[in-house]
C-alpha cells in the first residue's frame, strides 16, 4: 500500500474513533533500549550459546530460569537494568500522543508511551496485569495495554517459554480484548517484527475474528538493507524475496504493509496523518478591546461571525480560545450554521479552549501559556488571525502579544496561516511579515487575493469568500493544493 493511501484511510479511522496502535520493540530502540536479542545476549553467553544463532529467544530465557531453579532474580535484574526511565520519548511516540488514538497496545516493557502522553498532559489508563482489565479510569484520554507486562512489575513480565505457554491461563483478558479490537478497530503496527513468540496468539485471534471479512489493519515495515562483505549481494537478493513473500502473507490476516527504507520515515508518515486530521479543524485567533468605538468593534464582530459561518458551512471544526470579541463572534457564526442542521453535532463542530485565568501550582506562567497555545494550535490545520489588540489601561490599545505567540506556534507546527491584515493589530503585523516574500500566498489564493486580506475597508463577506477558497484548497486531493513554505 502506498503511504498516501494509508494516510487518507487511517486519518478517517482516527476521526471516527476506530483506530488503534500496536507498538513493538523497533520503536523503542530509538530511545536506546535493546531489542530482545540484545537483551538476552549476556544470558546466552553464560549458557554457552551464540545469541545470533538462536531463533527461539524465549527458550534462551527459559534455560536461564531452569538453571536458577525457576527463580526469576536474574531475569528481573535484567529488565530493571536495561529499561531505566527516560526523560523524553522518541518523535513517533510524541506524535501518537497528539493524535486522538484511544487504544494503544505494546509488547514492550518500557514506559516511553507513558512519558509521551504525560508530556502532552494526557492521562493514560495503563493495564499491565490481567486484573487491570476489570476497571477503567473514566477520565483517561487513552488506554495502554502492556500485554507482556511492565518494568514497573519486573517479576511478572512475559519473557520465558513458560510465560508464553501459560499466557492464555495467566493473561486471558488481554487476548479477549485484543480479539475484540481486531474486529472493531483498524490497528497500525509500528516497530513490530511479527516474530514475537506471542505471534501465534495474535494471528489466531485475527483469523478467528476475521474469517474472510473484517476491518483492514496496517503495518509500516522496513525493506531489507544491502549489507557488505562476502556473499552480501546474494543474501540481499534472498532477503528481498523473503520480505516480498512475508508482506504478501500478512494480507491473509488483513494487514496491509506500507514499506519504507529508513525507520525515520515513520515520523514523516505519522506527521502527515496528524496534518491530514488537523485539516478538518480551523483555529480562529484574535482579540479586540470591548472599549473600542462601537463601529470598529461591530466591524470586527461581523468579520469574525462571517468567517465562523464559513468554517461551519465547510463542515470544519472551529477551534477557539475565546479571545475578546473575536472568539465569541466566530462561535456565534458557526453556531448559526451548526444549529440549523437536521442533527446538530456541537462536539464535532466546535472545540472551545477558554484561556485559564489561574495557573496550575508549581508551573511558571510563561511555560503554561506556551504549552496551552501549542496544544490548541496543533488541533487545527489552518489558523486564521483577526485583529489582535488588547487594552492595557493606556490611551490606546496595543498589539496582543499572545496572538503573535499563537502565530509562531502555528508556523512551528507547519500549519496554514491566514492573517486578515485589514483588521489591524497582530493580524496586520503577521500579514506584513508574510508579505516580505513577494511570491507568497496561502493555499487557494493568488498573490493579489492575499493582498486583499490587508486592504483597508475589506468587507466581512469578501473576507469570508477568501477564507472559503483557502478551505476548499485544504480539502483538495493530495498534490492539487498549494503548500506554504
Report d(CA 110, CA 93) in Å as an integer.
12
- Residue 174 in grid coordinates: 488481554
Q: 3-33+83-276 with 279-475: one CATH topology?
A: yes
Report d(CA 297, CA 292) in Å as an integer.
6
pLDDT over 50 (residue 479): no
Per-residue pLDDT band for 482 (boundaries 50, 70, 90) equals: very low
Average pLDDT over the chain reads 89
**What are the catalytic residues?**
148
- What proportion of the chain, given as a percentage, has pLDDT over 90? 63
Contact 101, 22 (CB under 8 A): no
Per 3-state DSSP, the chain is made up of helix, strand and coil in percentages (nearest 5) of 50, 15, 35
Contact 386, 285 (CB under 8 A): yes
Report d(CA 467, CA 461) in Å as an integer.
10
Cα dist from 102 to 13, 267, 273, 334, whole Å = 11, 19, 15, 28
In sequence order, the 6+-apart residues with CB closer than 8 A to the CB of 469 are: 444, 445, 449
The residue extents of the domains of the chain are 3-33+83-276, 279-475
Report d(CA 33, CA 117) in Å as an integer.
19
Report d(CA 192, CA 469) in Å as an integer.
42
Task: Report whether CATH 3.40.50.450 matches the domain 279-475.
Answer: yes
Query: Over the stretch 277-336, which tens digit does the pLDDT of each residue have?
Result: 988 999 999 999 988 888 999 999 999 999 999 999 999 999 998 888 999 999 999 999
Report d(CA 359, CA 295) in Å as an integer.
35
Looking at residue 477, what is its pLDDT? Answer: 65
Report d(CA 403, CA 303) in Å as an integer.
17
Looking at residue 483, what is its pLDDT? Answer: 44
Choosing among 3.40.50.970, 3.40.190.80, 3.40.50.1220, 3.30.830.10, the CATH entry for 3-33+83-276 is 3.40.50.1220
Amino acid at each position: 500500500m502506498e503511504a498516501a493511501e494509508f494516510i487518507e484511510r487511517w486519518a478517517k479511522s482516527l476521526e471516527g474513533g476506530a483506530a488503534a496502535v500496536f507498538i513493538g520493540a523497533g520503536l523503542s530502540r530509538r530511545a536506546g533500549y535493546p531489542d530482545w536479542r540484545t537483551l538476552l545476549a549476556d544470558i546466552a553467553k553464560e549458557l554457552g550459546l551464540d545469541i545470533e544463532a538462536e531463533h527461539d529467544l524465549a527458550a534462551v530465557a527459559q534455560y536461564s530460569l531452569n538453571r536458577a531453579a525457576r527463580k526469576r532474580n536474574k531475569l528481573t535484574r535484567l529488565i530493571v537494568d536495561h529499561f531505566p526511565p527516560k526523560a523524553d520519548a522518541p518523535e513517533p511516540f510524541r506524535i501518537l500522543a497528539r493524535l486522538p488514538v484511544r487504544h494503544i497496545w505494546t509488547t514492550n516493557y518500557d514506559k516511553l508511551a507513558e512519558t509521551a502522553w504525560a508530556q502532552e498532559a494526557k492521562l493514560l489508563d495503563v493495564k499491565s496485569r490481567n486484573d487491570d482489565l476489570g476497571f477503567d479510569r473514566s477520565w483517561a484520554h487513552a488506554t495502554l495495554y502492556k500485554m507482556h507486562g511492565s518494568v514497573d512489575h519486573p517479576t511478572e513480565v512475559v519473557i520465558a517459554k513458560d510465560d508464553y505457554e501459560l499466557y492464555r491461563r495467566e493473561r486471558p483478558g488481554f487476548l479477549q480484548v485484543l480479539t475484540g479490537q481486531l474486529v472493531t478497530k483498524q490497528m497500525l503496527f509500528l516497530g513490530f517484527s511479527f516474530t514475537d513468540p506471542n505471534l501465534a496468539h495474535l494471528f489466531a485471534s485475527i483469523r478467528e475474528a476475521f474469517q474472510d471479512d473484517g476491518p483492514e489493519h496496517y503495518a509500516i515495515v522496513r525493506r531489507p538493507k544491502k549489507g557488505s562483505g562476502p556473499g552480501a549481494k546474494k543474501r540481499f537478493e534472498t532477503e528481498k524475496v523473503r520480505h516480498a513473500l512475508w508482506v504478501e502473507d500478512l494480507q491473509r490476516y488483513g494487514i496491509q504493509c506500507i514499506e519504507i527504507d529508513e525507520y525515520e520515515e515513520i515520523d514523516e508518515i505519522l506527521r502527515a496523518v496528524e496534518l491530514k486530521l488537523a485539516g478538518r479543524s480551523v483555529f480562529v485567533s484574535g482579540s479586540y478591546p470591548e472599549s473600542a468605538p462601537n463601529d470598529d468593534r461591530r466591524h470586527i464582530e461581523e468579520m469574525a461571525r462571517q468567517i465562523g459561518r464559513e468554517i461551519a458551512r465547510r463542515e470544519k471544526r472551529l477551534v477557539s480560545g475565546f479571545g475578546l470579541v473575536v472568539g465569541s463572534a466566530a462561535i456565534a457564526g458557526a453556531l448559526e450554521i451548526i444549529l440549523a442542521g437536521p442533527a446538530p453535532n456541537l462536539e464535532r463542530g466546535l472545540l472551545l479552549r477558554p484561556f485559564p485565568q489561574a495557573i496550575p501550582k508549581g508551573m511558571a506562567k510563561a511555560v503554561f501559556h506556551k504549552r496551552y497555545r501549542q496544544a490548541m494550535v496543533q488541533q487545527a490545520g489552518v489558523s486564521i488571525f483577526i485583529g489582535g489588540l488588547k487594552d492595557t489601561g493606556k490611551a490606546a490599545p496595543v498589539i496582543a502579544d499572545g496572538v503573535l505567540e499563537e502565530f509562531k506556534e502555528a508556523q512551528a507546527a507547519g500549519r496554514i496561516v491566514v492573517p486578515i491584515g485589514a483588521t489591524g493589530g497582530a493580524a496586520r503585523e503577521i500579514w506584513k511579515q508574510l508579505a516580505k516574500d513577494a511570491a507568497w500566498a496561502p493555499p487557494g489564493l493568488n498573490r493579489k487575493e492575499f493582498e486583499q486580506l490587508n486592504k483597508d475597508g475589506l468587507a466581512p463577506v469578501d473576507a469570508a469568500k477568501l477564507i472559503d477558497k483557502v478551505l476548499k484548497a485544504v480539502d483538495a486531493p493530495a498534490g492539487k493544493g498549494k503548500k506554504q513554505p
